[in-house]
């Protein structure tokens, strides 16, 4: 009989925490199932990787957190982190590990609680409220890392010349500044008297509002945007018993991420679940009626819904950096060598950061970015390596995994290796070998092996052979993902 205390294991891909005491009832693991007793064919309920990608978590701090260190002095040299999401907390963890004695201040516009953001699009069917998703409260996490937390605080101005921040709670001096500003939902260009009622679900607060709306007896949900997150929300809400309509300007769901054969198979799978897909259309107006909303489309047709959710994508939050004169494009431009921006002593990571022209809205690369900037703060070199992510789509009716590098190009370069109904395996190759793949259904089991091949080919093309497999956050693409930030 195993008498050791129950442990918790963290999925290093998506942030899911497996608690042995609770098990994974939906995945067939009864409460009390030890990690070593988990079958090899079990997969993470959020991203689908095997238990091999789970790592043992260190014990949480005691119920009475240790006394906080003194507040930073006005003349101190603290590392100030702006952002209470995965980017901000990852930076705090990495910096604390490198510099045990330096003051660290984390500023968060929200509460800053730690939670797995990919869970937002799979929580309705499980009946989970917003608070159920919290893994660790911000105050506990700050105490464990010996970080000064300033929650519900907004940055009004960054003064890079004087190295200080003007916030809603006063002025704060910094020695080094880390921008983990995250991203915000792109607002739909709509007219009508109900525009403000559209839900943009991207954090615990907006998910809490969605749960509140759903609890009021609604039945019909319209989701605008059939990218990765739109499709995941559609499946989750349909499984929760709601009548879902999914609308997109593209003719197929997941059209920007998945090659056409897999997008077509997903369309059929969603229809089989009762989800109505309206392709080739956009929303023009949304208006109140007595008991619901009238949504008018660009072709003049209309439909009715009780709740309207937007999932058209995210835009990096860069306004504060722009006002400070820091170089930006789509995101805050940061170097791969150190994650430093154009301003001295200012770094950026996560959804808001742009490295070598690309954005990385995934947990795994964000953690590597945090390691890069923490090393830079101690005059060490640990460059951030850009690589095509492995994106896993949480659509139970048709599981999908895609690795689509920029070199993979459009669908004309893809060829079908295997096809049996919804079980599809497509690849894209060039002279260097495999540069992209997309798998669905039963073929998803090949994803990790194929991803290893893609990375090995990339390194060979660059004259290297030191690849260590690492998966990327399966939350979506640069514009369709639920952000890893808070």
pLDDT at 45: 76
What CATH number did the domain enclosing 38 receive? 2.20.28.10
HSE of 309 in the Cβ direction (CA atoms, 13 Å)? Answer: 27
Residues 292 and 211 in one domain: yes
With respect to residue 156, please indicate whether it lies within any of the assigned structural domains: yes
Q: Are 318 and 338 in contact (CB under 8 A)?
A: no
Same domain, 218 and 307: yes
Q: Are residues 228 and 151 in contact, defined by beta-carbon separation less than 8 angstroms? A: no
- The answer as to whether 112 is a domain residue is yes
Alpha helices in 118-167 (DSSP H): 138-145
Lay out the sheet containing 293-297: strands in order across. 283-288, 293-297, 302-305
One domain for residues 294 and 231: yes
How many CB atoms are located within 10 Å of the residue 13 CB?
Answer: 25
Same domain for 235 and 262, yes or no, is: yes
Full pLDDT tens readout for the chain, 486 residues: 677 889 888 776 666 778 899 888 777 889 999 999 998 878 777 666 678 778 787 544 433 344 445 455 444 689 999 999 999 999 999 999 999 999 999 999 999 999 988 889 989 998 999 999 998 999 999 999 999 999 999 999 999 999 999 999 999 999 999 999 999 999 999 999 999 999 999 999 999 999 999 988 889 999 999 999 999 999 999 999 999 999 999 999 999 999 999 999 999 999 999 999 999 999 999 999 989 999 999 999 999 999 999 999 999 999 999 999 999 999 999 999 999 999 999 999 999 999 999 998 878 889 899 999 999 999 999 999 988 888 889 899 999 999 987 767 667 789 999 999 999 999 999 887 899 999 999 999 999 899 989 988 888 877 776 554 444 333 333 333 333 433
> CATH number for the domain including 425?
3.30.390.120
Residue that finishes a domain, picked among 277, 296, 312: 312
User: What's residue 14's pLDDT?
Assistant: 64
Residue 14 is assigned to a structural domain of this protein: yes
| Residue 72 included in any domain | no
Query: Residue 114 carries which DSSP code?
Result: B
Q: Can you read off the two tokens belonging to residue 417? A: 């290796």
Q: Which of 349, 377, 405 is the last residue of a domain?
A: 377
Beta bridge partners, 9, equal 18, 56
Same domain, 273 and 218: yes
DSSP alpha helices (H): ranges in 246-326? 260-272, 319-323
Q: Is 65 in contact with 144 (CB distance < 8 Å)?
A: yes
Which secondary-structure segment (H or E) carries 482? none
What CATH number corresponds to the domain at position 115? 3.50.50.60
pLDDT at 10: 77
> Do both 118 and 216 map to the same domain?
no
Q: Among residues 312, 337, 365, which one ends one of the domains? A: 312
C-alpha gyration radius of the chain: 23
279, 298: one domain: yes
Q: Which two tokens stand for residue 52?
A: 């091999």
With beta carbons less than 8 A apart as the criterion, state whether 404 and 263 touch: no
3-state secondary structure of 213: helix
Q: Would you list the DSSP string of 313-351?
A: -EEE--HHHHHTT--BSSSEEE-TTT-B-SSTTEEE-GG
Domain containing 204 equals 195-312
The per-residue pLDDT for 75 is 46
- 384: in domain: no
Q: Do 46 and 144 reside in the same domain of the chain?
A: no
Q: Does any domain span residue 300?
A: yes
Q: How far is CA 140 from CA 21, 111, 130, in A?
A: 21, 12, 18
Q: Are residues 264 and 169 located together in one domain of the fold? A: no
What is the full DSSP assignment across 165-200? EEETTEEEE-SEEEE---EEEPPP--BSTTGGG-EE
Rounded distance, CA 296 to CA 301, Å?
A: 6
Do 413 and 424 lie in one domain? The reply is yes
In this structure, are residues 440 and 423 in contact, taking their beta carbons and an 8 Å threshold? yes
182 and 155 Cβ atoms separated by less than 8 Å = no
What is the model's pLDDT at position 43?
Answer: 79
Whole-angstrom CA distances from 324 to 164, 166, 316, 412 are 11, 12, 16, 43
> Tokens 């923490």 map to which residue?
374
468 part of a folded domain? no
| H or E stretch at 417 | strand 414-420
Structure tokens at 7: 């442990």
Shared domain check, 302 and 209: yes
Residue 217, Ramachandran bin (φ over 0: left; ψ between -120 and 50: alpha; else beta): left
Give the integer Cα–Cα distance in Å for 151 and 399.
37
CA pair distance 167, 176, nearest whole angstrom = 16
Tell me if 71 is assigned to some domain. no
The residues pairing with 136 across neighbouring beta strands, listed in sequence order, are 114
Query: What is the distance between the alpha carbons of residues 454 and 361, in angstroms, rounded to a whole number?
Result: 20
Q: Do both 438 and 419 map to the same domain?
A: yes
| CB contact burial 410-439 (16+ within 10 A = b; e otherwise) | eeeebeeeebeebbbbbbbeeeeebbbbbb
pLDDT score of 58: 56
Total tally of structural domains belonging to the chain:
4
């Amino acid at each position: 009989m195993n008498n050791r205390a129950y442990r918790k294991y963290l999925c290093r891909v998506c942030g899911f925490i497996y608690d042995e005491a609770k098990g994974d009832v939906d995945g067939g693991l009864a409460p009390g199932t030890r990690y070593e007793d988990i079958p090899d064919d079990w997969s993470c309920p959020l991203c689908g990787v095997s238990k091999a990608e789970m790592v043992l978590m260190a014990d949480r701090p005691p119920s009475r957190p240790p006394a906080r260190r003194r507040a930073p002095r006005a003349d101190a040299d603290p590392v100030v982190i702006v952002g209470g999401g995965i980017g901000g907390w990852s930076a705090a963890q990495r910096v604390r590990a490198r510099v045990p004695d330096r003051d660290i201040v984390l500023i968060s516009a929200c509460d800053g609680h730690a939670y797995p953001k990919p869970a937002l699009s799979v929580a309705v069917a499980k009946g989970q409220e917003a608070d159920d998703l919290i893994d660790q409260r911000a105050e506990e996490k700050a105490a464990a890392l010996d970080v000064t937390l300033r929650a519900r605080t907004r940055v009004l101005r960054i003064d890079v010349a004087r190295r200080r921040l003007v916030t809603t709670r006063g002025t704060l001096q910094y020695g080094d500044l880390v921008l983990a500003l995250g991203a915000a939902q792109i607002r739909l260009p709509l007219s009508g008297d109900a525009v403000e009622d559209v839900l943009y679900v991207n954090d615990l607060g907006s998910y809490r509002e969605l749960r509140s709306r759903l609890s009021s007896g609604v039945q019909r949900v319209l989701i605008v945007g059939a990218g990765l997150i739109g499709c995941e929300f559609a499946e989750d809400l349909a499984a929760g018993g709601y009548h879902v309509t999914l609308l997109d300007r593209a003719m197929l769901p997941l059209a920007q991420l998945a090659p056409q054969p897999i997008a077509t198979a997903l369309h059929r799978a969603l229809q089989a679940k009762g989800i109505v897909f309206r392709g080739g259309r956009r929303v023009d107006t949304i208006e109140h009626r007595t008991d619901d909303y009238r949504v008018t489309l660009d072709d003049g047709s209309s439909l009715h819904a009780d709740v309207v959710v937007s999932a058209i994508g995210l835009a990096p939050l860069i306004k504060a950096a722009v006002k400070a004169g820091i170089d930006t494009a789509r995101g805050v431009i940061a170097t791969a060598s150190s994650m430093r921006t154009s301003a001295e002593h200012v770094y950026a990571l996560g959804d808001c950061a742009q490295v070598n022209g690309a954005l990385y809205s995934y947990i795994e690369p964000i953690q590597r970015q945090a390691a890069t900037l923490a090393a830079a703060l101690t005059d060490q070199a640990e460059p951030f390596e850009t690589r095509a992510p492995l994106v896993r789509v949480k659509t139970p009716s048709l599981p999908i995994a895609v690795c689509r590098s920029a070199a993979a190009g459009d669908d004309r370069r893809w060829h079908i290796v295997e096809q049996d109904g919804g079980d599809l395996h497509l690849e894209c190759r060039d002279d260097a070998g495999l540069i992209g793949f997309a798998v669905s259904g039963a073929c998803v089991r090949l994803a990790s092996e194929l991803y290893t091949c893609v990375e090995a080919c990339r390194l060979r093309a660059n004259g290297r052979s030191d690849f260590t497999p690492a998966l990327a956050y399966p939350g979506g693409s640069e514009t369709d993902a639920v952000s890893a930030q808070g």
